[in-house]
Amino acid sequence: MNRLKKILPWAVVAVAAVMVAGLAIVAKNYYEDRYVGTDHYAIVPLDYDMSPQPVYSRDGLQVGTGVEYKLTAFDSAGRPQVVSFTVFDPGSPISRGEQQPQPGTYLQISASNQLVVSWRVVTTAEIPAQALAAIRAQ
């Protein structure tokens, strides 16, 4: 019994440490899968529909109007990934003041496995050769 009193606190500490380590690994993987993006490159097609559409929240409430972009983007090795993001009209309540990329515009898109983390307009000189070749071949 005396030996059990000495071992039990250490066993509890060991189990707690394993649980904390496991939780940290799960949290790190979730964060990286959702919020750490890799660069992809795309062009807004010349015939892309730029008509503003109502944008709804997950609850079905209209949160503004904007253009939803669904593009095939390419990483620096030319591998494709379909990416989607919405740019809200400047008058929309949740607009970040971004200008909507127009048809013919090249974009650098940071995309995680789950969402577009960020995007910006770039020139062809800023696009890796294999990605630019893939964009032009589509």
Coil, strand, or helix at residue 108?
Answer: strand
* 65 and 109 both lie in a single domain: yes
* 31 and 43 both lie in a single domain: no
Domains: count for the chain: 2
Q: Which residues contact 99 (CB under 8 A, 6 or more apart)?
A: 87
* 31 and 78 both lie in a single domain: no
Coil, strand, or helix at residue 61?
Answer: coil
Which pLDDT score is estimated for 26? Answer: 83
CA distance 16 to 18: 5
**Closest Cα partner for 85 from 62, 55, 63, 58?**
55
CA distance 88 to 63: 9
* 7 and 54 both lie in a single domain: no
Residues of the chain with pLDDT under 50: none
Which pLDDT score is estimated for 1? Answer: 66
* 23 and 63 both lie in a single domain: no
* 31 and 65 both lie in a single domain: no
The pTM (predicted TM-score) of the whole model is 0.79
* 93 and 108 both lie in a single domain: yes
Q: What CATH number is attached to the domain comprising 55?
A: 2.40.50.480
* 14 and 59 both lie in a single domain: no
24 lies in which domain range?
1-35
Q: What's 102's DSSP letter?
A: P
Token pair of 102 as six digits: 């127009």
